[in-house]
Chains A and B, each alone.
Chain A
Amino acid sequence: MLEAILIPTLCVTGIGLVCAAVLVIAARFMSVRENELEKKLRECLPGANCGACGFSGCDGYAKALAENPETKTNLCIPGADAVSKEISDILGREFADTVEQVATVRCSGDCRNTDTKLDYHGIDTCQAVKMMYSGDGMCPCGCLGRGDCARVCPEDAICVDRGLAQVDFRKCIGCGLCAAACPQRIISMMPDVKRQVVSCSNTQKGAVARKNCKNACIACGKCERNCPEGAITVKDNLARIDYDKCSGCGKCSEVCPVGCIRTADYSGKHRQKSCENA
């Protein structure tokens, strides 16, 4: 009778002990020493692994921060000021402001403004379309509308509407993956403050550009002449704004005859909201 209870009990206990011993030995000899500081830093990073900081992801940035005291604390753009503050608190360093960025599509050639020059049937990505006579749209510089940017966006902040990529600024975390994915290179990362945007990238001559897209910059130079800060220059048939000088007054938008200069007002409002959520 005693045996009937004793043997199974011993058996299960024995197996349990053997398993425990193996685990203890394994933990002893094969444990990976984790840097406590690095772990703590990694926890306050957002974990999107977007690479906007210039390291191989959040783990890489945390490692660099822990090991190299010269690594800047404000490199995490998606995390913005909140993360920068936490990092500088942990490391006991001075808080540095993060320049929040948002992705901006420098094109407004949707299907109402421009047309297609060829009927494309094939692989449905911008990369592929770009290889056919630099895209199927009339404008050789414009948005191809196949959504390569939307596919890489970790926050689903981009949607393609009427053949034009649109960024939802409330969702954009400023990682810059879309800017790298765009074969036309028309997505720029811009500082997240009130300012003017030339939503066109066409460098063709005015008349040609106008024919291709109703919204194209025709390089008339009106904005250049009217800008009180002297921040706009027209180069290669396209108005370009120097954001170090731009005050966001909106004068250029008012005078632009084709309406391709627009006011973009985000001023970091959404950013504070996302910090609260995080």
Chain B
Amino acid sequence: MFKGLIVIILTSIVVDNYVLTKFLGICPFLGVSKKVGPACGMGIAVTFVMLLATAATYPIYYYLLARFELEYLQTIVFILVIASLVQLVEIILKKYIPSLHKSLGIYLPLITTNCAVLGVASNNISDGYVFIESMASSLGCGLGFLLAMVLFAGVRSRVEAANPPKCFRGMPITLVSASIVALTFYGFQGVIENLFA
């Protein structure tokens, strides 16, 4: 069981990285990765929201939607629940932990309808994970997102300092470097399965 959880976490961090292999959550990946500090903040906020979203959507799916055979409503209900959950978290943070709200607060509205968060919630269902496995998977995905953000922020600071041809400047060179970073993550295919074999 414990080994299984570790495998799930490691797999979702490096092999099935949401940003670099599944191409979800690209907008914050490109938007907030200019500096390492904000990239870290965004990554931590996403991890936090992914865990919360999974904890909330898992029971809703199995105890409400599956019971009434409304599985096809999954996407719209998940969006609804995640968006209001994030808003609620924001209100609670603002009231009780203002310092945390100050550092995470600006990222929370950005992730209310983030595709990576929704993707984690619905992939956990389609992979048939039980609750604890879903939580492990969303933790892993969040950490994977954080890793991708921080790595790319580092790459990007180098790219900013470089002097590419004029037609590549700005977004084009960023996308090219993102694809190279994504390519490196393909090197992890098959590593985790054999790690515990």
Which of A's residues lie within 8 Å of B, judged by CB? 7-8, 11-12, 15-16, 19-20, 22-23, 26-27, 30-32
Contacts and interface: CB of A to CB of B under 8 A. Distances in A.
Interface of B: 60, 64-65, 68, 70, 73, 76-77, 80-81, 84-85, 87-88, 91-92, 94-96, 98
Nearest to B65: A11
Counting chain B CB atoms within 10 Å of each CB, the highest count among A7, A15, A31 belongs to: A15
Given A8-B70, A8-B73, A12-B73, A26 B92 contact: yes
12 contacts: A11-B64, A11-B68, A12-B73, A15-B60, A20-B84, A26-B88, A26-B92, A30-B91, A30-B94, A30-B95, A31-B95, A32-B98
Contacts of A16: 80
Contacts of B91: 23, 26-27, 30-31
B103 to A, nearest CB: 12
Nearest to B82: A19
Given A19-B84, A26-B88, A11 B70 contact: yes
Contacts of B95: 30-32
A19 B68 CA distance: 20
A7 B76 CA distance: 15
A19 B112 CA distance: 14
B92 A12 contact: no
B contact patch SS: helix
Contact of A7 (B70, B85, B98): B70
A contact patch SS: helix
Contact of A30 (B64, B70, B77, B92): B92
A118 to B, nearest CB: 30
Contacts of A23: 84, 87-88, 91
Nearest to A28: B91
A8 B80 CA distance: 14
B68 A15 contact: no
A5 to B, nearest CB: 12
Contacts of B87: 23
B90 to A, nearest CB: 9
Contacts of A11: 64-65, 68, 70, 73, 77
Contacts of B84: 19-20, 22-23
Contacts of A31: 91, 95
Given A15-B81, A32-B95, 19 more contacts: A7-B68, A7-B70, A8-B73, A11-B64, A11-B68, A11-B73, A11-B77, A12-B73, A12-B76, A15-B60, A16-B80, A19-B81, A20-B84, A22-B84, A23-B84, A27-B91, A30-B91, A30-B94, A31-B91
Contacts of B73: 8, 11-12
Nearest to B94: A32
A7 B96 CA distance: 38
B56 to A, nearest CB: 10
Counting chain A CB atoms within 10 Å of each CB, the highest count among B60, B64, B88 belongs to: B88
A59 B60 CA distance: 40
Nearest to B91: A26
A22 B85 CA distance: 9
